[in-house]
Structure 1
Amino acid sequence: MAVPAGGTFTALRDCPAYVSKNKQTNPDAARITAGEAYPVFEADRPEDARWYRLRLPAANPPERWVSRDCGRLEPGAAAEPSAERCDVAGLVDAYVLALSWEPAFCELKPDKAECRHADPAAYPARHFSLHGLWPNKSGCGTDYGFCGEVKRPRRDFCDYPPITLDPAGKTALAEVMPGTASCLERHEWHKHGTCQTAMSSDAYFALAADLTRQFNGSDIADFIADRIGRTIRTEEFLARLDAALGKGARDRISLDCEHGMLVEIRVNLPPRLEPGARLGSLLPLAGKSGGSNCGSRFRLDPMGQPPSTRTGTGE
């Protein structure tokens, strides 16, 4: 368990700087340089620390663990307790997988780039789309964010710094996250992805895309395919979630509706996620959700429906 620490760590030799000291993950091969000094904000134990957590501005994420054998600690003022903050990476105690129903999203925000040429035959027209995979922290919830160099939201998602993704992973992500047309992946990484320390950006988005496909492939996509354009009883949908993902799944999933339309599904997940994890196995380990605001029924809009005069186009 990490504890708040302060001071400056002066490197006496070049050393690797790990995202996870236990797994010794270092996705961008970040290192500290002999002779350089780095601010310390955490240690692995209150006394006789073996590892210090430093901030390396050029690393992604910048919060990194370094062995005490690599340098010398110069004591200083204690850092602000990380337990009271919502922008310090590595304090994840839950995740949420947020999935959008793209036709409803595009009715609400038709000016978005991904909505201007909505194709009724495309994947997002008949499957739930990836909004994001959100690390959460008790006391912060989904406000836990901006744990890297970017500390505030940008007006336009494309104003965020670009992120590097493997070409094959980028193509696979674009299929399940149509919002990449509006640089949504940049927003999701800088706001949410930087708060977890176990995965590189490639691994983070690969897992998010895989969980999205698992959700759709669990019989949910087949269930909704015959009901697009119709009104669905909420209880009927929740019962199908239990049947597809395991008894009690409905208690870990919340539904978000606007103007009678299903807009988003949020799936609660546990704090430890591994590549290849099965969605049905993760749900029983997650906390229960706060429920739904959809009432007894909701509409499942079709792709390409003209924007309603009731809805706006704001962010």
Structure 2
Amino acid sequence: MEESAASDIPAMRLFVTDDDRQDEFRPDIPSPARVYNYILGGKDHYPADRVVAENTMAALPSARHAALENRGFLRRAVRHLAAEAGVRQFLDIGTGLPSYGQVHEIVQEIAPESRIVYVDNDPVVLAHGRDMLHGVDGTAIVRHDLRDPEGILADPALRRLLDLDRPVALLLVAVLHFIADDEDPYGLVRRLVKPLPAGSHLVISHATDDGDDEVETALKDNYKTSSSAHVRTHAQVEAFFAGLELIEPGVVWTPLWRPDEASSPLRETPGRSVCWAGVARKP
């Protein structure tokens, strides 16, 4: 199906809070995935989502460009891992609503034998994801929450596809800023990375207000009905990679991580991308 240019970019991945997690479809409760779908010109959203999206864009005019830059970073990172690092297994946690240019499309174009498992806890995301992946070899989407690393790694569908004795690229793109400090985000990352073998990679992008004082207010005010946003500093984001070998150029603004020749709306003002990003290898 042909999509608009805006819907070419999937939503920044968000998780609802413990109190708001939906076990069934609830259009009356704003869904972060649907909110970003609206921001990027998609069609999978409802009135409650549109209210949050409009408020977010009013408070943070660079919201759409930030999502575009985040997507560009993800594409460059997985392309590097598949083409240059030789990684053939990818675990994308918090995948959000699917659209053109998903991880499996990028890496399987480079290496058709690659295997990709998507993880999300939103029933709408799961439904769309299963439809997207129907008949696509080497892929699966499973329902889990980032707060349950052991459950994710033990999932039978995941274990059928991924060999955890071989390197895995763990993708946590625009999702960790929805884990509160008291939920131990650093511990969650360690619990996901520890069982993976040497040669595995960790890919992270994370919202920050280091470059824009309006970001924290915009996120907290506009997502408080459906999720909790927690911006972190450059040093705090870099700490997620403790014990790993950061790949050049380290933790930088999303448009500055190994930029390619594609046009970038925020290349000259990277702080407006509101996300730090990095890739690291497990020694």
After TM superposition, the score normalised by the length of structure 1 is 0.24
- Structure number with greater Rg is 1
Between Structure 1 and Structure 2, which shows a larger proportion of strand residues?
A: 1
After TM superposition, the score normalised by the length of structure 2 is 0.26
Between Structure 1 and Structure 2, which shows a larger proportion of helix residues?
A: 2
